[in-house]
Amino acid sequence: MRHGVFVLLLGALVAALLLGLAVGPYPLGFADVLHAAARAVGVDNGAPTPGEIVFGRVRLPRVAAGMLVGAALAGAGTTYQTLFRNPLVSPDILGVATGAGLGAVAGILLSLPVAGIQGLAFLGGLATVGLVYVIAAALRGHDRTLVLVLGGVVVGALAGACISLVKILADPYDQLPAITFWLLGSLASVKLADLATVAPLVLAGLVPLVLFRWRIGVLSLGDDEARSLGVDVFRLRALVIGAATLMTASVVAVSGVIGWVGLMIPHIARMLVGPNFSRLLPASMLLGASFMLIVDMAARSIARVETPLGILTAVLGAPFFLWLLARGRRTWG
């Protein structure tokens, strides 16, 4: 049953999707769904009802965003873990989320509109990883992986310090709460237009990962082994880092910082399908999408107000990680 587990994962995703569409603070009837569907295929039945608006313009984009964010973060996490041959690596290893956070809080400090905040977050994420890569490339003669990781730690710490500085400069009554919420992640205000921008970027990052899936898998054997198999390690690594960073930065720009998904989901996927990157990547992305759908459903249902996603993923993620450590089984490699 080589594909059995994928059928299962797909089934779980469909279930989570239906659940995500059905559950939320605004009670929806089946009629609202029918109205929205009719309008989508061109039947005009008068002014939209509030229920129809909630379904078509609120719930649907939110559910789609949940899948996109979960899949992208889990996919990027899988890629980084394979690339660095280390199960403790998360998508933020090279500082992409911290850099995006810095861009976003700078946007909030400058009182930019939402699109400006998202744009700065995206650029901040890309710029941070770019800087890390340049630093690592400049430091020749060291272990490449080590230099990259250390560069990520250093630049990430620097960006974190800048975020703290912005917090001090921010208006404590107005901007500071907004910064705090952004750094904890939420899908509450995602719109269709955001998805139309982000989805192509995620896809652009995903395509090279799929095309080069065999070679990326070979990278996990080690640089020398990969080289002896005819892989251009240097260029492939640059491409893979760029692709995974693009995926992470574009989703983080609309969702805010959501931790743990990119660390935890690849682990579960690895237990299900093993370490082979060609199977691990799709499994991880399917699982990430389902997980984020469920977490986001909880985020809008636990209380009248939104519970930040970063809190929920950490509450679910931290115990899981401890369990993983306690279990002590080597699922790696």
Which residues bind to other proteins, rule: CB under 8 A? 24-27, 48, 50, 53-54, 57-59, 62, 111-114, 117, 167-168, 171-174, 176-178, 181, 186, 188-189, 300, 303-306, 308
Give the shortest CB-301-to-other proteins separation in angstroms: 10
Q: Which residues contact 255 (CB under 8 A, 6 or more apart)?
A: 65, 69, 185, 186, 187, 190, 309
Separation CA 153–CA 155 (nearest Å): 6
Looking at the Cβ atoms of 138 and 168, the one nearer to other proteins is 168
Nearest to 10 by CA among 243, 286, 259, 249: 286
Give the shortest CB-63-to-other proteins separation in angstroms: 12
Give the shortest CB-188-to-other proteins separation in angstroms: 4
Looking at the Cβ atoms of 172 and 230, the one nearer to other proteins is 172
Give the shortest CB-42-to-other proteins separation in angstroms: 18
Nearest to 48 by CA among 17, 252, 58, 24: 58
Give the shortest CB-14-to-other proteins separation in angstroms: 22
Give the shortest CB-82-to-other proteins separation in angstroms: 35
Looking at the Cβ atoms of 111 and 331, the one nearer to other proteins is 111
Give the shortest CB-115-to-other proteins separation in angstroms: 9
Q: What angle do CA 149, 243, 157 make, to 5 degrees?
A: 30
Burial 95-113 (b: 16+ CB within 10 A, else e): bbbbbbbbbbbbbbbeeee
Terminal-to-terminal C-alpha distance of the chain: 22
Q: Which residues contact 163 (CB under 8 A, 6 or more apart)?
A: 98, 101, 102, 105, 179, 183
Name the burial class of residue 132, with classes exposed (0-12), middle (13-18) and buried (19+) by CB atoms within 10 angstroms of its CB: buried
Looking at the Cβ atoms of 17 and 112, the one nearer to other proteins is 112
Looking at the Cβ atoms of 5 and 112, the one nearer to other proteins is 112
Count of beta carbons in the 10 Å neighbourhood of residue 207: 11
